[in-house]
Structure 1
Amino acid sequence: MKWNVPNILTALRLLAAPGVAVMFLYFHRPWADWFALLLFISAAATDWFDGYLARAWKQTTKLGAMLDPIADKAMVVIALMVIVGYSSMSPWLVLPATVILFREVFVSGLREFLGDTAGTLKVTQLAKWKTTAQMIAIAVLFAQGVFEHYFGAMTHGAVMLGHAGLWLLWIAAALTLLTGYDYFRKSIPYLKE
């Protein structure tokens, strides 16, 4: 196992994922919202930095290649679980969250099943945009929680943030479906055994 700066950043992002949920266990709102938002944004930023540094410093490793998608999925899944759990369970939130969670589990299962042939499911540029859209949508939804506690749930700003977060989440869900379909399509020749 080779530990370098990019791998350490990825490992820290992986550890930060459950930290988002822990904020709501140990802090009252709005502090939990603030801490979760700051932790999520900080961890999401490392997603770009660890990949950039690994390529720039020629420090790409198998460990990093394995941990990076796990850290991304853990961040998204745990954050969505917290957001849905603290929401009004609106179908406008639950449906795109369900699509995202299903796709993440489905593609992980495909990769596990394909094993050595999983190279056929390399991360595409669209999948990178999907992850970016997910991270932005989740950050906006956490920010809505912060805004609601300071200015009230029905203020214009809180309502606008909520609508923006939902629209972004639906866009992320659409990109998630597209990339899930693309990975499934690429795996079909290996599933015909």
Structure 2
Amino acid sequence: MRWTVPNVLTVSRVLAAPGVLFAFLLLDSPYADWIALILFTGAAITDYFDGWLARLWRQESAFGRMLDPIADKLMVAIGLLVLATFSVGATPLYLIPASVILTREILISGLREFLGEVKLHVTRIAKWKTTAQLVAIGVLLSAVPLAHLTGAEPRPVRPGALAQPIGAAVAWGGPEALPVWNWVVASGLALLWIAAILTVVSGWDYFRKALPYIHGRER
């Protein structure tokens, strides 16, 4: 493996993913929230630049192609875990799309392992779903830092929030919280649902393309 700039960026993304978790384990809020947001945002930005630089400088490698999707999945999985544990909590508005995303990623990873040497090209919608996942998680991670900047006090959504009016259901701080707090959380949850829909669509597209190879191995 050559230590090219694109490969270094990809490896840094792998290291940043657990760094988001350790920020919350080792530090108190709001320091943990700020560090986690900076780590996640920086790593998400490298998701674009490592591939772009590899193509621009003709430094594409088997190592980079192998590690790049793993880094993406680590960021998404750990980001969702951190939000459920330290921020969003057990609200259906969050847990449903998060579970859909994780289920799809595990199923498609198992399908790729089954196909072995058969390589299916990454589609445009698969790139969109990854971008949507990273943006949604980044927005939700920014909610606590923005709340502290505006003076609002973050409080977890109650488990029964799905049955409440949408204005209160999406607000950790409830109706009395500052408007920016409501809008950040609402935007993050909306983006997460969009990401979940794109995740399902891209997963079905991948499975559909893999079906001929699956049938071929059963004969």
TM range (shorter): over 0.9
Q: AA paired with 2:40?
A: F
Identity of aligned residues (%): 52
Alpha-carbon distance between aligned partners in 2 of 1:88 and 1:178, rounded to the nearest angstrom: 26
Q: How many residues align?
A: 191
Contact persistence 1:100–1:176 (CA under 8 A): yes
Contact persistence 2:10–2:71 (CA under 8 A): yes
**Paired position in structure 1 for 2:192:** 169
**Which deviations, in whole Å up to 9, do the C-alpha atoms of 1:77-131 show, x marking residues without a partner?**
00011001122311000000001111111111111111101x12x2111111111
Give the 5 Å matches for 1:129-144. Answer: 129-144=128-143
Consecutive unaligned residues of structure 2, counting only runs of 5 or more, are 153-172
Alpha-carbon distance between aligned partners in 1 of 2:141 and 2:107, rounded to the nearest angstrom: 26
Alpha-carbon distance between aligned partners in 2 of 1:26 and 1:175, rounded to the nearest angstrom: 34
| Structure-1-length-normalised TM-score | 0.96
Contact persistence 1:103–1:177 (CA under 8 A): yes
Alpha-carbon distance between aligned partners in 2 of 1:24 and 1:114, rounded to the nearest angstrom: 38
**Paired position in structure 2 for 1:30:** 30
Contact persistence 1:73–1:104 (CA under 8 A): yes
**Paired position in structure 2 for 1:55:** 55
Give the 5 Å matches for 1:74-89. Answer: 74-86=74-86, 87-89=88-90
Alpha-carbon distance between aligned partners in 2 of 1:9 and 1:113, rounded to the nearest angstrom: 29
Alpha-carbon distance between aligned partners in 2 of 1:33 and 1:170, rounded to the nearest angstrom: 22
- Structure 1 vs Structure 2 CA RMSD: 1.0
Consecutive unaligned residues of structure 1, counting only runs of 5 or more, are none
Name whichever of 94-103 and 79-88 sits farther off. Answer: 79-88
**Paired position in structure 1 for 2:167:** none
Alpha-carbon distance between aligned partners in 2 of 1:88 and 1:65, rounded to the nearest angstrom: 34
Alpha-carbon distance between aligned partners in 1 of 2:110 and 2:76, rounded to the nearest angstrom: 17
Q: Give 3-state SS (helix, strand or coil) of 2:117's partner.
A: helix
Alpha-carbon distance between aligned partners in 1 of 2:105 and 2:136, rounded to the nearest angstrom: 16
Contact persistence 2:83–2:89 (CA under 8 A): no
Alpha-carbon distance between aligned partners in 1 of 2:6 and 2:146, rounded to the nearest angstrom: 33
Contact persistence 1:138–1:169 (CA under 8 A): yes
**Paired position in structure 2 for 1:105:** 106
| Structure-2-length-normalised TM-score | 0.85
**Paired position in structure 1 for 2:70:** 70
Alpha-carbon distance between aligned partners in 2 of 1:63 and 1:138, rounded to the nearest angstrom: 26
1:158 aligns with 2:181: yes
Q: Give 3-state SS (helix, strand or coil) of 1:116's partner.
A: coil
Structure showing greater radius of gyration is 2
1:187 aligns with 2:188: no
**Paired position in structure 1 for 2:39:** 39
Q: 1:29: how far off?
A: 0.8
Structure (1 or 2) with the greater helix fraction: 1
Deviating 4+ runs (over 3 angstroms): none
Q: AA paired with 2:50?
A: D
Q: 1:172: how far off?
A: 0.6
Q: AA paired with 2:67?
A: L
